[in-house]
């Protein structure tokens, strides 16, 4: 940002420099969108939102994350029982990692050395050494495990099980489940608040977000959503994201076709932003000025401007977009 003192020519010069650095080949950020039905990952340019590449994957790509070093994007191929490793430079699948049956989604450890994969059909979390692809262990959890969250100290991995309706806390030293919290029906996503004091769990069919104290494993608050003119049963919270300062939360509401803006202090819903149909997962741009929403039924990604809390654009991707990874 130009400082306030910088005026006239100085600002113009800086602007030119910035332009040049782009022209010199430093690519803008890229969005990697997994298309569950197409068996592809769509790569969008983070400035123009034009499709840069459509990468074929194995069958039923869903959970998608970038590695901490941004060199790779990992996508779970549910019906092929593996992870496709996409090189973010060449935009090609360069490696496959065996995950065991039906991987739905995944998370990486803080260092990126380990992968945590939820095996939806087997009620397991598979822990994999990323470098070797070898399984470290498998942890039995509830039925249809899905969303994963890793605490910032790396000591706890949380997985939610859709059919069992629980958040399971797994100790990463012992790989034992140390606590189970019953939440509302069909939990999908778990996310720690930026200050790590709470864990938010969305329940798609229950229509709520449970706020859990991760130390006491008690639910301290349940967030409800009410939208005038929308039947209660269509409100299906899935993706959750917090701004870096933790002062605003965004919750995708599935068939209600909206993203809720929530104040994490008061738990009041401040606003509902209309997006595409059945928004599932949300991801921020690297500078967190934009929020990207994958809309499962309309096959597009809605871009929300974070400061104005407005949907600015929707761009088409493949069929049934599931999740989005962003690489700076």
Partner 1 sequence: MTVRRAVRVSGLLTLALLAGVSRSFAAPAAAGTAPAHTFPIVYLREAYPAPAVMPSLLETYPDDLGLAGAQDAIGEINTTGKFLGWRFKLYVVTLPAGADMAAQARKVFARGPSVIVADLRADDLLKLADAPATKHALILDIRTSEDSLRQRDCRSNVFHILPSQAMRADALAQFLVEKRWTRWFLLQGPTQQDAVYAADVRRSAARYGASVVAARSYDYNPGSRRSDTGYQQIQTQMPLATQVGSDYDVLFVADETDLFGDYLPYNTFDARPVVGTQGLVATAWTPAFQSYSALQMQNRFQLFAHRDMTERDYSGWLAVNIVGDAVMRGRQLSPAGMRAYLRSDNFLVAGFKGEGLTFRTWDQQLRQPVLIAQPLMVVSMSPQNGFLHPDNTTDTLGFDRPETQCRLAQ
Closest separation in Å from C-beta 188 to partner 1: 10
Number of residues that bind partner 1 (CB under 8 A): 34
Site for partner 1 (CB under 8 A): which residue of 51, 53, 143, 227?
143
Nearest residue to 288 (alpha-carbon basis) of 276, 305, 274: 305
Over the window 95 to 114, marking each residue x when it contacts partner 1 by CB under 8 A and - when it does not, the resulting string is -------x------------
How many whole angstroms separate alpha carbon 316 and alpha carbon 201? Answer: 29
Any residues with CB less than 8 A from the CB of 280 and at least 6 apart, and which?
A: 188, 238, 239, 252, 254, 294, 295, 296, 321, 322, 323
Region from 20-28, 50-58, 173-181, 310-318 binding partner 1, contact rule CB under 8 A: 173-181
| DSSP-based three-state secondary structure for 172 | coil
How many whole angstroms separate alpha carbon 138 and alpha carbon 121? Answer: 14
Site for partner 1 (CB under 8 A): which residue of 55, 85, 124, 179?
179
Nearer of residues 254 and 321 to partner 1, judged by Cβ: 254
175 binds partner 1 (CB under 8 A): no
231 binds partner 1 (CB under 8 A): yes
233 binds partner 1 (CB under 8 A): yes
Residue 297 phi, psi (nearest 5): -95, -25
How many whole angstroms separate alpha carbon 261 and alpha carbon 310? Answer: 11
Region from 40-48, 124-132, 181-189, 242-250 binding partner 1, contact rule CB under 8 A: 181-189
Q: Are 51 and 44 in contact (CB under 8 A)?
A: yes
Site for partner 1 (CB under 8 A): which residue of 35, 81, 108, 164?
164
Nearer of residues 142 and 239 to partner 1, judged by Cβ: 142
Task: Report the 3 state secondary structure along 46-106.
Answer: CCCCCEEEEEECCCCEEEEEECCCCCEEEEEEHHHCEEEEEECCCCEEEEEEECCCCEEEE
Nearer of residues 69 and 231 to partner 1, judged by Cβ: 231
How many whole angstroms separate alpha carbon 328 and alpha carbon 61? Answer: 22
| DSSP-based three-state secondary structure for 222 | strand
14 binds partner 1 (CB under 8 A): no
Region from 21-29, 61-69, 111-119, 229-237 binding partner 1, contact rule CB under 8 A: 229-237
Nearer of residues 61 and 207 to partner 1, judged by Cβ: 207
Any residues with CB less than 8 A from the CB of 313 and at least 6 apart, and which?
A: 49, 302, 303
Site for partner 1 (CB under 8 A): which residue of 71, 96, 217, 288?
217
Q: What order of strands is seen across the sheet that includes strand 145-150? A: 145-150, 156-161, 166-171, 177-182
166 binds partner 1 (CB under 8 A): yes
277 binds partner 1 (CB under 8 A): no
124 binds partner 1 (CB under 8 A): no
Closest separation in Å from C-beta 236 to partner 1: 7
Q: Are 2 and 17 in contact (CB under 8 A)?
A: no
144 binds partner 1 (CB under 8 A): yes
Residues that bind partner 1 in the complex, under the rule CB under 8 A: 102, 120-121, 123, 142-144, 162-166, 168, 176-182, 185-186, 205-207, 217-218, 231-234, 236, 254-255
């Amino acid at each position: 940002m130009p400082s306030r003192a910088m005026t006239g020519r100085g600002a113009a010069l800086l602007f030119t420099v910035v332009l040049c650095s782009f022209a010199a080949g430093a690519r803008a950020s890229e969005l990697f969108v997994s298309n569950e039905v197409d068996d592809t990952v769509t790569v969008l340019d983070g400035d123009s939102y034009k499709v840069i590449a459509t990468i074929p994957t194995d069958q039923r790509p869903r959970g998608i994350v970038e590695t901490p070093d941004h060199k790779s994007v990992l996508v779970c191929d549910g019906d092929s029982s593996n992870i496709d490793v996409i090189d973010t430079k060449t935009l090609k699948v360069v490696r496959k990692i065996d995950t065991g049956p039906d991987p739905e989604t995944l998370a990486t450890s803080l260092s990126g050395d380990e992968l945590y994969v939820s095996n939806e059909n087997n009620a397991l979390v598979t822990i994999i050494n990323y470098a070797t692809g070898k399984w470290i262990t498998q942890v039995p959890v509830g039925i249809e495990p899905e969303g994963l969250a890793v605490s910032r100290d790396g000591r706890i991995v949380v997985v939610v099980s859709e059919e069992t309706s629980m958040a399971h806390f797994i100790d990463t030293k012992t790989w034992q489940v140390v606590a189970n919290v019953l939440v509302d029906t069909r939990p999908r996503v778990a996310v720690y608040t930026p200050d790590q004091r709470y864990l938010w769990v969305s329940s798609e069919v229950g229509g709520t977000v449970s706020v859990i104290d991760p130390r006491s494993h008690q639910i301290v608050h349940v967030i409800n959503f009410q939208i005038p003119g929308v039947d209660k049963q269509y409100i299906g919270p899935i993706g959750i994201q917090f701004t870096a300062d933790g002062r605003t939360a965004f919750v995708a509401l599935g068939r209600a076709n909206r993203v809720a803006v929530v104040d994490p202090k008061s738990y009041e819903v401040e606003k509902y932003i209309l997006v595409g149909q059945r928004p599932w997962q949300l991801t921020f741009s690297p500078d967190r000025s934009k929020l990207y929403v994958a809309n499962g039924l309309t096959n597009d990604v809605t871009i929300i401007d974070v400061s104005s809390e407005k949907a600015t654009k929707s761009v088409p991707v493949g069929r049934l977009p599931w999740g989005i990874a962003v690489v700076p």
